Structure 1
Amino acid sequence: MSPDHATTMPTRTQPEPAVLDEQALARLRELDPEGVNHLLERVVAAFLKSLDQQEQVLAQGRGAPRDLNGLRHVAHTLKSAAASLGATALSQRCAEIEALARAGREEGLAALIEAVLDDIAAARLAMQQLVQPAR
């Protein structure tokens, strides 16, 4: 193998995708361009407040017996809220959980829930940093 081939191998030095999509955040900011109503801060605060309960239902879904209907409902709700705030990865994984739960399929659900819980942690941190005043 020539040295050129070694440099074309995929590496882990690529930056991770942004946790929050800037276009989605820009759309929210457009609704309150001057920030007078603190819309972004209020939406983020409401989202973060709702996460605790949703996270609890998801965490319980890692083991048996699973409440598939409860998981489907939480995943559906979280999918929409996450999408509106630009937490795309979280939203997409919630859609997968919702589809599995709706179909009554449990295979792979525990691993997917673990990934969603990681996505929630990342989104929570990103949103907290987003609305904290610069120091």
Structure 2
Amino acid sequence: MTAERSPARGPLLDPDALAQLRALDPQGRHGLLPRVAGLFEASLASLLPQLDAAEAAGDLAVVRHVTHTLKSSSASLGALALSRCCAEAERLAREERREGLPELLDRLRAELGHVRPAIAALGQPGA
């Protein structure tokens, strides 16, 4: 599943980023990749509702915090398009620019929908 591709996009998860994670636990004895994938998924359970509430309330500080957190964790798992989208949303929130932010957050959610199954597959045995 990690090699799954979107016709216009290439791999959903960057193979080099995944290789770096795998290199930290080459035999897989510590289950690093599944643990990191599981932690990412668990963090979404709190971050996505925070993002929704912050967007509805116009709370740019929380939008900035959530997108910053997602930017880093998605990059570590190779979800580079998601990470870039988060970085742009974080920048707009930091600069207190609301114009274009709702559309960008919609794009972030759509990108998350694309990569989430591939990240979840990393948590499966033999990933």
The TM-score with structure 1 as length reference comes to 0.82
Measure how far apart 1:118 and its partner are. Answer: 1.1
**Structure number with bigger Rg:** 1
Measure how far apart 1:61 and its partner are. Answer: 4.3
User: For 1:15 and 1:102, how far apart are their aligned partners in 2?
Assistant: 31
Percent of aligned pairs with the same amino acid: 45
- Contact 2:35–2:123 (CA<8 Å) still a contact in 1? no
Residue aligning to 2:65: 73
Q: RMSD of the TM alignment (CA)?
A: 1.7
1:36-75 pair list within 5 angstroms? 36-63=29-56, 65-75=57-67
Residue aligning to 1:27: 20
The TM-score with structure 2 as length reference comes to 0.87
Q: Unaligned regions of 5+ residues in structure 1, if any?
A: 1-12
Measure how far apart 1:38 and its partner are. Answer: 0.4
Q: Unaligned regions of 5+ residues in structure 2, if any?
A: 1-5
Q: 1:90 aligns with which of 75, 82, 95?
A: 82
Q: Deviations over 1:94-123 (max 9, x none)?
A: 000110000100000001001111111222
Residue aligning to 2:98: 106
